[in-house]
Structure 1
């Protein structure tokens, strides 16, 4: 079995990456890790900063926040930090509503009468519409940089129960509807490191590991339950794991191993 990085992410997985040292956002179906970009943008500010610690010491606590007044003072290089702080405020969330396709949403400028990007959440990469000292050389916009894309955002999540018939243990996971059985195995791996010693089945049928749950004939019936006023979790499909009688531990530290 070859170990792979996740291809699909759930909103809950993105939501936990919500701080300056670990900042993810979802945009137009893509999950982007903006941690390095955010740190680079915050370093553009050259103003003297004030500390949020109530008691001023020679050291700061882990929860210390540095406040900067450079934007209020009108420094042109503060625009990058203003956008960075807005991105940080939306860390772990979806920001697709900021954009129309791959560009910012626009509006008609009240002075020059042209269609202008609507930068309510901070400046973009375009030049100012009117003469301004904030002009800077054009650079590649962060939302078109493929280097910060780490995966795809799922369109729908679904619960699945995985039952180990040997030990009788059961684990319920929230998985992406687009994920294959193999990718679901990667989610289940922390719960059972001997996964190679089991065969996965559903209703006594073998599963195709390169196909999704729906393609394997495992429907998501939650909408039908809602139509008849039943709880969504009244029934969760169960995948059964049958032991193959050879205890082959699956070493996670190796890049791959043979089936």
Structure 2
């Protein structure tokens, strides 16, 4: 098994249409586009569509990772708690002859929809290309190693793999995270001191080696 793919909340949020819908909950990121295609036109899709691109962890019990429940005040029975309305794979609150329960695993327990892990903490870093004197601020996941951060940076520089990545004059270990490379996350310190963290972002410098990416 390879490393999981990490996503920022901002990356999840752009997938917010019926043709491209992601949600996150309990630390995982789900691509529910196939589910929406399968149940297109079903009124039970509405709560999911309204939550497109958002975190819906409040729908779930973090202990058993299942839908939260509550006691129905009319029947005294324990039923799923759906504050935004009943949704796909949730049974009706009362016996119903038209309820089809032959769908297999409910979507929130189906790992085939999982595309990655939601970052517990994101960071902004500044990357400076010493060859061109251009700099770029990007948001990364704190769990990512430098090689994965390099992948994020490729859209700004397709030849980023042809550079040596350094911080404070030190070569970075591309298999380690920012923290493991002794690049601390100072967001909390900036907040306590009421400092503009954008002005004091840690800068990673790229030094050109040889354009090995040239085809």
Common topology (TM > 0.5): yes
SS class of match (1:32) = strand
1:6 offset after TM fit, Å?
7.6
2:131, 2:207 within 8 Å by CA — same for their partners in 1?
A: yes
Once residues 214 and 70 of structure 2 are traced to their aligned partners in structure 1, the CA distance between those partners, rounded to angstroms, is 56
1:247 offset after TM fit, Å?
2.0
1:128 offset after TM fit, Å?
4.1
| Alignment gaps of 5+ in structure 1 | 46-80, 252-259
1:170 and 2:135 aligned: yes
SS class of match (1:199) = strand
RMSD: 2.0
Once residues 230 and 129 of structure 1 are traced to their aligned partners in structure 2, the CA distance between those partners, rounded to angstroms, is 52
Give the TM-score taking structure 2 as reference length.
0.90
| Alignment gaps of 5+ in structure 2 | none
Change (3 A) 1:186 1:92: same
* 2:82 equivalent in structure 1: 119
Change (3 A) 1:131 1:182: same
* 2:208 equivalent in structure 1: 243
* 2:173 equivalent in structure 1: 208
Once residues 143 and 24 of structure 1 are traced to their aligned partners in structure 2, the CA distance between those partners, rounded to angstroms, is 12
The count of corresponding residues between Structure 1 and Structure 2 is: 210
Once residues 13 and 5 of structure 1 are traced to their aligned partners in structure 2, the CA distance between those partners, rounded to angstroms, is 18
Once residues 238 and 124 of structure 1 are traced to their aligned partners in structure 2, the CA distance between those partners, rounded to angstroms, is 46
Stretch deviating more after TM superposition (134-143 or 231-240): 134-143
Once residues 5 and 170 of structure 1 are traced to their aligned partners in structure 2, the CA distance between those partners, rounded to angstroms, is 28
1:25, 1:32 within 8 Å by CA — same for their partners in 2?
A: yes
Indicate the structure (1 or 2) with the bigger Cα radius of gyration: 1
1:150 offset after TM fit, Å?
0.6
Q: Deviations over 1:163-191 (max 9, x none)?
A: 11111111110111111100000000111
* 1:135 equivalent in structure 2: 99
1:217 and 2:215 aligned: no
SS class of match (2:74) = coil
* 2:68 equivalent in structure 1: 105
SS class of match (2:96) = coil
SS class of match (1:83) = helix
* 1:254 equivalent in structure 2: none
* 1:29 equivalent in structure 2: 27
1:161 and 2:159 aligned: no
1:179 and 2:144 aligned: yes
